[in-house]
Amino acid sequence: MIEILHTSLAFILAIALLIAVHEYGHFSMARRLGIKVEKFSIGFGPALFSWRSKDNEVQYIIAAIPLGGYVKMLGENPDEQAEGVQTELSDADKARAFNNQPVWKRAAVAVAGPAYNFLFAILAYMIIGWLGQAVLPTIVGHVNPASIAEQSGLHVDDRIISVENKPVHSWQQMEERLKQKVGSSTTIQVLRDESTIELNLLLPHPDKDPLLMDISDQVLGFNPGLIVRIENVMEGSAAQHGGLQKGDIIKQINGWPVSNVSQLIKKIKAQPEQAVSLTVQREQTLLQLQVTPVADQQGEGRLGVKLASQTIHGTEMYRMNAWDGLAYGFVRTWEMTTLTLNVFGKMVTSAISPDNLGGPIAIAQLAGKTAEMGLVYFIGFLALISVNLGVLNLLPVPILDGGLLLYLGIEKMIGKPLPPKILEITQMLGLILIVGLMVFAFYNDISRLFRG
């Protein structure tokens, strides 16, 4: 119950903050350009709190449902552009109505919301750089025999210091750089016994999309070196019958070193109803156990354990100086923006399954998890979601900011606004599309919950 409450509070705080940033972008730009703003709401539904601005012009609202927000400007809705409505406005209000503004002003208001999301992400990543973050060091802990990494001369305990002469300070950053080189060759610089060595790597195209893979491990054949530990043993399972216990560290399977969870699971799946030999470390003792995986409904082997992994070398604190942190804010925001566009494009073309799309439950879970991990991780989560909001709202879909920019572009070309009827129809279609996308994402969330 406490965990659900914590997750809910973290989710509400994150969504309310990011929506406030986005809507404040629209609000502040409209006010600066002299457009009359009537309402500024964080959330939808019944108002929990409301108050008016000092000039009594704007009504500020905190509403009950914190899953959206809006800025209501005079003359922005299609029905307000219908013939006869504006005759009731004073000359002063007509001059300040949104639909009476030149195209560039309306475009500036539309862009300001997503722009503030990107600015927020830039600032958030700067703060992360300055505060410092615990990162997985780029120290090689395991190299698979006969792998590309081994054939290229990579050794255990090598520290990778750059990819294509660009410094890397964490395993994640190195992995992202390697993903960009799939299908070509690259060079890495490693520190070995206080000497710098340059190695050439050829990265072939994998079967799956690189975004869904660990390139270093699954393609090149090296990883940071993981300890695979049993977190829980199911009652009556093959693992329990074979003598496995909570806390055991699995060192080998059939004489092969176990370097990660996915490798172990793959070998177990391939041997249903066949005894496998496991070498496990229990406290300070090495044990040799025989375990027979049970076949599941798909005919794949199952041990009935919950596994976890931790790296051999742990984590390191990486903190940037003032200038590097400043640059990191811009660079990281650009990287996450291009990554978001790349993922979205591949979902549209089915190169990546839309089943990977997450909805409010997935976001809430991530919010709760990062909040538990600490302030830096939660700020990183906020930055990531803010980038996604910025990108999503710039898509050329009616009812989104990108849709308004599309309308304004057409208006600029034809020399007059689109008819209100066309605006109503296209916005309804846009609403159906967005609601459908949200329903699909929510369905994915529920499906993942049932699959565990």
Q: Running DSSP on this structure, what letter comes out for residue 113? A: H
Q: Which of 23, 283, 411, 424 is catalytic?
A: 23
> Around Cβ 111, how many Cβ atoms within 10 Å?
19
Token pair in block for residue 191: 């520190």
> Around Cβ 265, how many Cβ atoms within 10 Å?
16
C-alpha span between 30 and 116 (Å, rounded):
13
> Which of 365, 247, 326 shows the shortest CA–CA distance to 3?
365
Length of the chain: 452
- Check if 23 is active-site: yes
Angle at the Cα of 378 from the Cα atoms of 372 and 380, rounded to 5 degrees: 145
> Around Cβ 58, how many Cβ atoms within 10 Å?
19
Q: What burial letters (b/e) apply to 145-179, b meaning 16+ CB within 10 Å? A: eebbbeebebeeebebebbeeeebbbbebbbbbbb
Orientation of helix 103-131 relative to helix 375-393, angle to 10°: 160
C-alpha span between 410 and 399 (Å, rounded):
16
Q: Are 270 and 292 in contact (CB under 8 A)?
A: no
Collapsed DSSP state (helix, strand, coil) of residue 171:
helix
Token pair in block for residue 80: 């307000």
> Around Cβ 2, how many Cβ atoms within 10 Å?
6
C-alpha span between 426 and 417 (Å, rounded):
14
Collapsed DSSP state (helix, strand, coil) of residue 180:
coil
C-alpha span between 74 and 93 (Å, rounded):
8
Catalytic residues, by residue number, are 23
